[in-house]
Amino acid sequence: AQSVTQPDIHITVSEGASLELRCNYSYGATPYLFWYVQSPGQGLQLLLKYFSGDTLVQGIKGFEAEFKRSQSSFNLRKPSVHWSDAAEYFCAVGRGATNKLIFGTGTLLAVQP
């Protein structure tokens, strides 16, 4: 069955520290992979996506993610976190004509001053 796992429900980092949010997926074929961010009281904003090609993808706001097929992972990284990055982050997988998305349970990021 298709699924997305985000093992970390809640993460706290200090401002300026590096960040890595984990995402593992289960999918029958090569998936399309996405990271979205949801700030408090807001909708979802697309950070980045991976369809094919270079396994390291760059996104907005200084985020990047690396696709590792052997580990079925698509972890999100940022070298230096800003207080405004505090939000909930969702990993999603999809493929096909309708590209239905399956979302992970999300990781809530808190940033300490």
Partner 1 sequence: SAVISQKPSRDICQRGTSLTIQCQVDSQVTMMFWYRQQPGQSLTLIATANQGSEATYESGFVIDKFPISRPNLTFSTLTVSNMSPEDSSIYLCSVEEASRETQYFGPGTRLLVL
How far, in Å, CA of 58 to CA of 53, rounded? 13
| Site for partner 1, residues 1 to 60, rule: CB under 8 A | 32, 34, 36, 41-46, 49, 51
Contacts of 46 (CB under 8 A, 6+ apart): 34, 35, 36, 59, 60
Q: How many residues bind partner 1 (CB under 8 A)?
A: 21
Of 40 and 113, which CB lies nearer to partner 1 in the complex structure?
40
Stretch touching partner 1 by CB under 8 A, among 20-28, 55-63, 65-73, 98-106 = 98-106
Of 18 and 105, which CB lies nearer to partner 1 in the complex structure?
105
* Cβ-contact 75, 66 below 8 angstroms: yes
By the 10 Å C-beta count (0-12 exposed, 13-18 middle, 19+ buried), 36 is classed as buried
Binding site for partner 1 (CB under 8 A): 32, 34, 36, 41-46, 49, 51, 90, 94, 98-101, 103-106
